[in-house]
Chains A and B, each alone.
Chain A
Amino acid sequence: MKALRTLAALSGVLLIPGMAEANPLDTFGFGSRGAGMGGAVAADVTDASAGYYNPAGLASAKGLELTVGYFRADHTLSTEGRDNHVDAVKGVVGGLVAPGTVAGVPFAFGLAVHLPDDRVSRIRALKQEQPRWELYDNRNQRLFLSANVALKPVPWLELGGGLSFLSSTGGRLDIEGLANILDPERSQLRHEVDADLTAVRYPQAGVRLLPHKRVALAFVYRGEFSLRLDLAARVQGNLSELTTARYALTTSTVNAFLPRQVVFGVHTQPTDDLSVNVDVTWMNWSAYIPPVAHLSVDLDIPPPVGGWPTGVTPPTSPVATPVLPIGMKDRLVPRLGVECRAITTPSADLFVRGGYEFAKSPLPPQRGFTNYVDRDRHGLSLGLGLRLPSLGEWLPGELRWDVHGQLHVLTSEVTVKDDPTDAVGDYEASGHITNVGTSLTLGFR
């Protein structure tokens, strides 16, 4: 009975929602050039970061390129003036571009990866009513890996596409044996665990149009992605020769959801030394799946002949938590990026970059039971880039070193509750996020 009571408590614990995750690159960018330009590079990216921003741009790579970098984003997000200690997002970014030709058509292959310092991914289950920074808390704690190909069939058209990868988890736990309800220490239970890690892929594709040497247009599609965690537990046992109990529990959680995205980008180059880019991203937040565990419990403990002994009360099945709709809205995220070649010499070029983005919160006002905290976000970016076009005889190619800094400001707003007995009550929320990083690219010509 003690074992069964423990499992009843466990199922109660699992009656709580999972935490949504997505892609840290959506918030912080990939590579220091793109991050320094506010992420507005869909129409002019040609390095390994095209594996995220626009795979079509890989087709314009001039030679084999290897990129490695690192970034760290620190959150200072607070409610009612108290820091909620949202974890930092940090890790290595890297990529590879390998151009070539196929039947005379320029072709390229690219790999892009973000490896977090701390974890491949994190699953966190919270109650619906517990306040959490839904888009920043657990959402960006995951790995990113993508592989893409691109080709340039005509001089003014580039096409690219590929897949990104992660894994989902399913598992089964079986427990059988004898449970001694009067002396739990004498229980004899056998258990078996079976877990399965399944690869999940989602597509991305891009187009780049080059109608003029100083203008480029881009269209990018990123597919929807969800990561499921499915668990099943089954317990069957003899309770001190009184009766045979059966307990079955299944839980299914979507703890990572990346909305479908479509990006339209424009690159202009008013002068040889100045680029001005504008990107607009449509994000399909309305398809967001609430991060709530769907739980099914079946507890069958037939009473023994003659009834239960004195002092023994069998547990009852816990009541499943109703899943409340999250009600997110689709959003358009505008981005502006500027790059200026400030200094140019035969041996080095220096670039200065800046950017801005505005992400209106897709979450509705949390007036009721749930507390998915979010605020409108303004992102300001600055970046520097140093390009060494020739490294001498020992390395026929160029070296690019880029650094970036971002400041994201989440505007203050008060959440107002309709129910005066709400345990959380009205609260103010606001904050800022700082992101710094660097990347080094070696290009072979």
Chain B
Amino acid sequence: MKRPLLLLGLTACATLGGEGSGDRGLPNAGLGPFRALTGDEVPGIAPFVLGGSGEPLAEPAALVLDEVGPRVRLYTTASRVLAPGAPSSQVLVAAEAFDGRSFAEPQVVLSADAPWEGDGLSGPSAVAHEGQVLLFYGGAEGIGIARATDGLHFVKEAAPCLTAAGAPSWEAAAPSAPSVVVSPEGRLRLFYAAGGSLGEADVDPSSLHCQRLDADPGTPEMDPVLGPGPGGPVGDPEAFLRTTASGRLLVGVLHTTQDPVLGSVVAVAARYGLEGPLTRGTSPAFTLPAGASSPAVAPFDQGTLLYAVSTRDGAPALAAAVAPESLVLGPPTP
């Protein structure tokens, strides 16, 4: 015992070392797990960045305008009165932040005015393609598309691109909650929710015609890319593509499901390549005590921001999180 103590006494004369590092810049696939932002990272009550009892917001979709910052435009659903004396209706609104966290007041960008849309719009998904922003959204009878060169003033396509017509038996309801990604070849891939499962469709970039895809052509019926999981139905897909360091195309889909202990959670499924079913992840990608659902991701230069719907002051609000968990964002810059 004396020898080590003497040794420690000698070395105690040296400068005391710090904790050390070696854990910066670590690789991350962007599939989580995500860490909820803290009070030092958001302008208001952490981890919320938008919505609440003042204006309930839900079903976010993120469009990254600049990976540095990042500058992000969020499209969400909101309940607004569009004309004096008119009842409130569910519309799509947009808000921007230069740091991904300090959002301005949301402005209406799209409202329901076609018979197939019903009383309101839902589940936006925005993607930049060939110099314009394509906004996919849900209506009563299916999924529609609108275009805008500035991402704010949209012109709708006349008809929905995907409805219940020709749907397989597992699509017990009209397709909804679209999420669109652009493949390296310039094709558009649409993921959607229906009947507690997730489906996939190919979208012709010229005609914007949607064609359902079979996740397993070896079976007689068209299969979903992700069926119900151990916790029950899955929904609210948020897809993103990434080319890995080995040159493989990773298709990741965050989605909402139920955990028996944690309640509503954001889970992950993924595959390599543009074809085939998704592999289900073993652990949730993001959870909150009040539940988390309807994920949207915004990849940027240092990592990935996640927006999810939770509850604040008893109303739906958008919470923000980041991956990798070790990444600490600086103070918000309103």
Contact = CB atoms under 8 A, between A and B. Distances in A.
Nearest to A426: B244
Contact of B25 (A85, A130, A419, A422): A85
A167 B1 CA distance: 9
Contacts of A423: 28-29, 31-33
A421 B24 contact: no
Contacts of A415: 245
A138 interface: yes
B67 to A, nearest CB: 14
Interface residues on A, range: 35 or more
A113 B22 CA distance: 26
B169 interface: no
B25 A84 contact: yes
Interface string A400-417: 000000000000001110
Contacts of B15: 117-118
Nearest to B4: A167
Interface in B1-43: 1, 3-5, 7-8, 10-11, 14-18, 20-33
A25 interface: no
B271 interface: yes
B270 A78 contact: no
Contacts of B8: 120, 167, 197
A118 B22 contact: no
B280 interface: yes
A79 interface: yes
Given A425-B27, A428-B245, A420 B21 contact: no
A204 B24 CA distance: 37
Given A197-B5, A420-B270, A414 B245 contact: yes
Contacts of A414: 245-246
B300 to A, nearest CB: 14
B55 to A, nearest CB: 31
A298 interface: no
B219 interface: no
Contacts of A424: 26-29
Interface residues on B, range: 35 or more
Contacts of A120: 7-8, 11
A86 B22 CA distance: 4
Contacts of B282: 421
A116 B11 CA distance: 8
Contact of A79 (B21, B27, B30): B27
A297 B10 CA distance: 37
Q: Which of the listed residues A87, A115, A423 has the most CB atoms from chain B within 10 Å of its own CB?
A: A423
B224 to A, nearest CB: 17
Interface string A113-129: 00111111010101000
A132 B25 contact: no
Contacts of B26: 79, 82, 84, 130-131, 424
Contacts of B5: 197
B21 A80 contact: no
Contact of A165 (B1, B4, B246, B269): B4
Given A120-B11, A145-B7, A421-B269, A427 B279 contact: no
A26 interface: no
Contacts of B23: 84-85, 126, 130, 132
A420 B271 contact: yes
A66 interface: no
Interface string B274-286: 0000111110000
B20 A141 contact: yes
A138 B281 contact: no
A260 B17 CA distance: 29
Nearest to A86: B22
Given A117-B15, A197-B5, A426-B246, A122 B28 contact: no
Contacts of A166: 4
Given A414-B246, A420-B272, A85 B1 contact: no
A323 B7 CA distance: 34
Contacts of B252: 420-421
Contact of B4 (A118, A131, A197): A197
Contact of B270 (A198, A421, A426): A421
Nearest to B33: A423
B246 A118 contact: no
A122 B29 contact: no
B268 interface: yes
B22 A425 contact: no
A133 B23 CA distance: 9
A273 interface: no
A84 to B, nearest CB: 5
Given A117-B15, A423-B29, A425-B28, A199 B4 contact: yes
Contacts of A143: 7, 11
A425 B268 CA distance: 13
15 contacts: A79-B27, A116-B14, A117-B15, A119-B17, A122-B17, A126-B23, A131-B26, A132-B22, A165-B4, A167-B4, A197-B5, A199-B4, A420-B272, A422-B29, A423-B31
6 smallest A-B Cβ distances: which pairs?
A118-B17, A425-B29, A82-B25, A427-B27, A426-B244, A119-B17
Interface of A: 78-80, 82-87, 115-120, 122, 124, 126, 130-133, 137-138, 141, 143, 145, 165-167, 197-199, 414-416, 419-428
Given A80-B25, A424-B28, 10 more contacts: A79-B27, A84-B23, A86-B21, A115-B14, A118-B15, A131-B26, A143-B11, A167-B4, A426-B246, A426-B248
